[in-house]
A and B are shown apart, each in its own frame.
Chain A
Amino acid sequence: QSVLTQPPSASGTPGQRVTISCSGSSSNVGSYTVNWYQQLPGTAPKLLIYGNDQRPSGVPDRFSGSKSGTSASLAISGLQSEDEADYYCAAWDDSLNGHVFGTGTKATVL
């Protein structure tokens, strides 16, 4: 029941900058802040970015987020091999009264 749209994949060489987009609607991204979750292979998701652009303690500053209207994006600067993971955007949705997740983007380091 994904309501937020992301590209299925993103890739770059080590050191490059990669961006992942997230498109929603007025009932979710347009009304609430966006979060990003990182899921490394075989592990549980982890909060990466919250409140559109805030990093929890311990998250490297090469990860950054932004939001404009009903769209958001995650940027990874200085891509590293350990950044290979699935990334999901998410936001609260008023019509659902729950969290909605993006379709997920698999980031690959070439």
Chain B
Amino acid sequence: KAGVTQTPRYLIKTRGQQVTLSCSPISGHRSVSWYQQTPGQGLQFLFEYFSETQRNKGNFPGRFSGRQFSNSRSEMNVSTLELGDSALYLCASSQIAYRYNEQFFGPGTRLTVL
């Protein structure tokens, strides 16, 4: 099985622009979660989608949004970029198992905002 893929791997944007990141989960996985990783902050949960519905949302401003398509692929959008949005954005997919819910992570998209 192919792993979780994220595109693009690297992005450079300027303040005020918007950006869209893409995540393709492992085949058969219906849950996709997004995280922001910054040094010293660890992973901050952004949101989680399951069957095209957002089930959970972290504590991020409305500039951060996402969606999930019928094939479980997910996109994350950040509008009006700020310098503080520079981070590694990780996507994880999972299949709800009856015992535990292992998340499989993609390699991430490194976003730099200048």
Asked if A and B bind, the verdict is: no
Which A residues contact B (CB, under 8 angstroms)?
none
